[in-house]
Amino acid sequence: MPSLIADWRDRPTHRRVWALAAPMILSNISVPLVALVDSSVIGHLPHAHQLGAVAVGASLYIFLAWAMGFLRMGSTGFAAQAAGRGDGAALRQVLAQGLLLSLVLALFLGAIAMPFGELALVLMQPSSELHELTLAFFHTRLFGLPAALASYALVGWFLGTQNARAPLAILLSTNLVNIALNLWFVLGLDWGVVGSARASVIAEWTGALLGLSLTGKALRAYPGQIAWAALQRWQSWRPLLTVNRDIFIRSMALQSVFFLITVQGARLGDATVAANALLLNGLLLTAHALDGLAHAVEALCGHAIGARDRDTLRRSLVVAAGWSLLTSLGFGLAFLFGGHLFVSLQTDIPSVRDTAFGYLPYLALLPLIAVWSYLLDGLFIGATRAREMRDSMLLSVLLSLPCAWLLSAFGNHGLWISFLLFMALRSLTLGLCALKLQRNDGWFSGFESASSQQAPPRTGNGNVVD
C-alpha cells in the first residue's frame, strides 16, 4: 500500500499520463458526440423507425468496422515498443503494414457486407419500414470503410510514438465534419437517414487523408529507412499478424455481444431498439472518455516494456487507474441524476423516451463496472499480450451466454442485466490474467522475440540492411 501511495504522488507520471490522455479524451469524446448528434437529428424526425434505422444500420457497420479494431491496437503496441528502443526502421515497418492491412481488409469486408446485412435483418425480423431504411443507411456507410480502417492504423501508430496531437487532429476533424454535414444534409437538405450516412462517409475520408499528411513530420523524430523487401517476407509479418489475429477474435466476440443486444432489442419492438441505442450512446460516451486514459496506458506501458523499465510501468498503471476510477464515478453520478435530460436531448418521440427512462439505473452502473476492463485492455495492448485478451474475452462471453438465456424471459431488463454481468466478467478475467503475469514477471518476458522479428536488421549507422 505505501508503494501505491508513493506511485500516486509521483507528479512527473501524472504529467506524462495527462499529456497523452487529455488530447485523446478530447478527441475520443467527439466520437460519441457524433452518435448523439445522429440520434438527436434523426430522433426529432416524426417516426421511431427512422431513429431505429440509424441505430440498426450503424450497429451493422460498427460490427464490421470495429471488428477491425486490431489495426489500431496492434499498431500501438508494436510502435510503442519500437519507440522505446529508438528503432525508426521498425516504426516505418509497423506503419506500412498497418496501412496495407487496412486496404486489404476493407476490400474483403466490402465483398461480404451486403449479404451480411441481409442476413442480419432476417435474424432481427424488423418492420418493413425499418428494414428498408436500415439497408439504405448501411449500404451508403460502406463507402467510408477503407478510410475508417486506415484511420484505425494511423491513430494506433501515432499513439505508439506518444504523439497524441495527431490522433486528436484526425478524430476531431472526422467528427466535427460529420456533425456539421449531418446537420446540413438531414435538416438543411432534407436527405433524411441516407443524408446522415453520407455525412459519415465524407468525414471518414477527411480524417484518413489528414492522418496520412501528418506521418512525415512524426517520422522525422525517428531516423531510419524502411526495408521494402522485408514486407515481402512472411517472417516480418508474423508477429503483427499473430497479435492482430488474437485481437480480431477478441473484437469479434465483443462486437457479437453488442450485435446480439441490437438483435434482441429489435425483436422487442421499434421503440425498444431505439431506446437501447440512446442509452448505449451513454456507454459510448463513457467508454471513449475512459479510453483516453487507456490509450495513455498503452503508450506509456508499451514504451516502458520496450525500455525494460519496471518502475515506470507500475507508476503509469497506478496513476491511470486512479484517474479512471474518479472519471467513472463522475459519469455514473451524471447518468443517475441527469439521465432524463440525456435521453430527452436525443429524442422527443414519447414511446422511445418513456422506454429509455425505465432503464437509466443500468446505464448509471455501467461506468463503475466497465472501467477496469478498459484500463486493463490498455495494459495488455501496450504489452502486445493479445492472446490473454482473446482468452479472457471468449471466457467472458461463454460464461455470459447461459445467464443471458435464463434472463431472456425478463425482456429488456434481462437483456441489460446480462450485459452488466458480461462487463463485470470482462474486468474479472483480465484482472486475473494481469495478476498471473505480474507474479511471473511476465510483462517483460516474451516481447523481445516479437520485437526482434518485427524489426529488420540494421547497420551500425541505423540504415536498414535488405
Share of the chain above pLDDT 70, in %: 86
Closest listed residue to residue 61, CA positions, set 125, 141, 150: 141
Question: Mean pLDDT throughout 298-309?
Answer: 78
Question: Mean pLDDT throughout 460-465?
Answer: 33
Lowest pLDDT segment from 123-132, 381-390, 412-421: 123-132
Cα 435–chain centre separation: 24
Alpha-helical (H) ranges within 307-410 are 310-346, 350-357, 360-382, 386-407
Which CB contacts under 8 angstroms, 24+ apart, belong to 134-138? 134/52, 134/53, 134/56, 134/57, 134/60, 135/57, 136/53, 136/57, 136/193, 136/194, 136/197, 137/53, 137/54, 137/57, 137/58, 137/193, 137/194, 137/196, 137/197, 138/57, 138/60, 138/61, 138/113, 138/197
Q: What are the percentages of helix, strand and coil residues in the chain, rounded to 5?
A: 85, 0, 10
pLDDT at 263 exceeding the cut of 80 = no
Contacts with 128 (C-beta within 8 Å, 6 or more apart), sequence order: none
Q: How far apart are CA 446 and CA 450, in angstroms?
A: 7
Question: Which sequence spans correspond to the domains of the chain?
Answer: 2-454
- Give yes or no for a contact between 148 and 65, defined as CB atoms under 8 angstroms apart: yes
Assigned C-alpha cell, 228: 521494402
Question: Mean pLDDT throughout 176-194?
Answer: 83
- Give yes or no for a contact between 162 and 17, defined as CB atoms under 8 angstroms apart: no
Question: Mean pLDDT throughout 410-421?
Answer: 89
Assigned C-alpha cell, 143: 463507402
Assigned C-alpha cell, 73: 491496437
Which of 54-63, 316-325, 378-387 tops mean pLDDT? 316-325
pLDDT at 2 exceeding the cut of 60 = no
What is the residue type of 32? P
Q: Name the DSSP letter for residue 408.
A: G
Closest listed residue to residue 21, CA positions, set 248, 285, 253, 289: 289
Comparison of pLDDT for 31 and 221, the residue scoring more:
221
Helix-then-strand count for the chain, H and E: 17, 0
pLDDT at 319 exceeding the cut of 80 = yes
pLDDT at 172 exceeding the cut of 50 = yes
**pLDDT score recorded for residue 208:** 92
Q: What is the pTM of this model?
A: 0.66
pLDDT at 205 exceeding the cut of 90 = yes
pLDDT-derived band at 31, boundaries 50, 70, 90: low
Q: Name the DSSP letter for residue 463.
A: P
Comparison of pLDDT for 401 and 386, the residue scoring more:
401
**pLDDT score recorded for residue 38:** 64
Q: How far apart are CA 240 and CA 464, in angstroms?
A: 19
